Structures are given as structure tokens and as C-alpha cells.
Amino acid sequence: METNFFPLTQRRLRTGSQIRELTASVKLSYKSFIQPLFVDEAIDSPRKIDGLNGVEADTIDSLLYRIEQDARNGVNKFLLFPVPARKKESDFDFSFAQKALTRIKQSFGNDVWIAADVCLCSYTTHGHCGILNEDHSRLLNSRSVEVLSHYAATLANAGADCIAPSDMMDGRIGAIRSKLDALGFEEVSIMSYAAKFSSQFYGPFRDACHSSPNTNGLQNRKTYQVSPFNSNDAIASALRDEREGADILMVKPATLYTDIISRLNQQTLKPIAAYHVSGEYAGVEALAEKGLLDREAAHIEVWASLQRSGADIIISYASRHAKDWINNVVI
């Protein structure tokens, strides 16, 4: 017999998958997941997105087919990113987004819950999330908020269940909430991109939406997105959005900012959504392709980390696999 110099203290609860399952403090459910969708006016068949395996930009018709497939796999909550064919500096045409939403709601009604992204970055020639002044050196906050509120109302009118403003202008949540209420859309909720950082990890997304800043004026989003070096600003922005009427507060990117999720969770009673963004997702996928990690297990580990930090809702490009993967995982 082995002499027991070191009695087991923690390892007894790790001895097999059943006891690990029983004692887990995090239990994932596919019901907490939102699947992002891209719909592009300029294409006539689905387009692959570099870095985002298993995700494509759709036409309206292929989008309806994709939602039907997803619904079969237990996904009924979506975040929609419309990409218009024509980009402008102002007087944007929101009719394609409106049409996409209308078609989704005509086909699926309340079987699906649709949050519509509200931002101008895929609408503007310069790729910024709001309207710029003439020489592109500054972002015009008030004019941008007016246009964004109008866009939000258009989307609510087309049937969006939730408005998800990702532009990061000041005052937009209050403006959008008043506009929605005034028009009778009191039940349309707002999921605010509340703590959205100025991050490198949006690369594949910007490719998908053709929305990288491209002007000799403002060359990045640092004057409106939160600095990765400033956690107080992230918390203040989120709490401000809560006061202005946001129903759900989002932290984005997710895995690099679990400290923010955890801190915000201590300061709000609102549900917190964590967005595992395109670059974070693409990183996991790239390692998996090289055989350096197990794809499913890695995504599940990411999701567990988000829930552990205090996220109630997870936005992942792999949400459409959540039910299957969570069901089969051996922890």
C-alpha cells in the first residue's frame, strides 16, 4: 500500500466526470446564447468571411434558410448585422435592413427573437460609427445620435425585438429609448454595447461588414470606444447606459475583459451579455485548424469563463453549435 503522506484535499472531487459534473459551479445552457447573422445587400449568394469558420454573410433568401436551420438546432435568438450596398456620408438608406427584418418576421414571427445592431459603420464611406465633420477630423455626436435614433425606430417598426446600439456615441441610449417609447415601441428592449473597447479583435467582423475606418482624418475609433487601459470608463459607460434605459448591458470583447464583466456584475442588477468577438473566435478557430487545441472543448472553456465571470448571455459565432456541444461535453 502507498503510504499516505499527503492526504487528498481537493482531488477527491476531480476523480471522475460524474463528480466533476455534479460539483461544477458553472452549468452552461444553450438557452443563454445569441447567434450573430450578417445580411449583405450587395451579394447574390452567401459569402465566406475570412477567419470566421462556419459563418457566412447571407442574402435575404439565404438568411431565411439559415435561420430555419439554426432554429432546428435550438437557436432562436439572433443579432442581425445588415450591410447595405451603398455607402454615404449622410442621408443613409436603411431600407435594406428594414426589408431583411420584415422578411424574417414574416417567416418566423415570434419563434425567433431578433436584436438588430444599430451603428453607422457599415453605412459610412469612411467606416466610422457616426457622422464626421467635413474634413473628417471629428465625430459629430449629436447629429450621429439623431440618425441612430431614427435608424433604431425604423428597425423597431420592421419588427426588431431588441435594439443593440454598438456605435458608442454619448446619449444614444436615452435618445433611442425616448424615441421608441414615443412611437409606441415600449416593449422593444435595448441591449447596449455598454462597455465596448477600442480593440484589435474586431478584424474579421470589419472585413465582413466592410467597416474599417478608411479616411485620412480620424483613423481609428479611439475617440468614441473605451480605452483598454481604462476600466473605470468602461464601468461608468455601462452604468450611464443603465440609467438611460438600457435593459441588457454588454461587455465586448469578452475573454480579454472578464475583469470588467465581473466588476460590472457587482454593480448592476441588469443582465450582462458577453460578446466573444470575431477576432477572439478566429483565434480559437486558427489554433483548432492547426491541431493545437480541440475546437469544441476550447469554445466551451471560453463560454464557461464568461459565465464564471458573471455573464448571463453569451454572444458567440458558434452559438449554433451550443446545444450539441454542451450536450456532449465531458467535463
**Residues marked as catalytic:** 196, 252
Total residues contacting ligand PBG by CB under 6 A comes to 11
Q: Classify residue 91 as left (phi > 0), alpha (psi -120 to 50) or beta.
A: left
| The amino acid at 257 | Y
Residue 109 CB, nearest distance to ligand PBG (Å)? 26
Residue 293 CB, nearest distance to ligand PBG (Å)? 20
Residue 261 CB, nearest distance to ligand PBG (Å)? 16
Site for ligand PBG in 242-301 (CB under 6 A): 277-278
Nearer to ligand PBG, 32 or 124 (CB): 124
Nearer to ligand PBG, 108 or 119 (CB): 119
Residue 250 CB, nearest distance to ligand PBG (Å)? 10
Residue 202 CB, nearest distance to ligand PBG (Å)? 4
Nearer to ligand PBG, 277 or 311 (CB): 277
SS3 (DSSP) at 190 = strand
For residue 220, the tally of other CB atoms under 10 A from its CB is 11
Out of 99, 206, 295, 323, which residue is the one contacting ligand PBG (CB under 6 A)? 206
Nearer to ligand PBG, 35 or 166 (CB): 166
| DSSP secondary structure code for residue 136 in this structure | S
Helix intervals (H) in 60-127: 60-72, 95-108
Nearer to ligand PBG, 191 or 300 (CB): 191
Nearer to ligand PBG, 76 or 122 (CB): 122
Q: What angle do CA 150, 155, 161 make, to 5 degrees?
A: 130
- Say whether residue 40 binds ligand PBG (CB under 6 A): no
| The amino acid at 7 | P
| The amino acid at 160 | A
Query: Do the Cβ atoms of 51 and 94 come closer than 8 Å?
Result: no
Cell readout for 141 is: 455626436
Annotate each residue in 104-133 with x if it binds ligand PBG (CB under 6 A) or - if it does not, as one string.
-------------x-x-x-------x----
DSSP one-letter string for 121-132: TTTBTT--SS-B
Which residue, 125, 60, 138, is CA-closest to 91? 125
Query: Do the Cβ atoms of 34 and 79 come closer than 8 Å?
Result: yes
Residue 295 CB, nearest distance to ligand PBG (Å)? 18
Site for ligand PBG in 144-203 (CB under 6 A): 166, 202
Residue ranges in contact with ligand PBG by CB under 6 A = 117, 119, 121, 129, 166, 202, 205-206, 211, 277-278
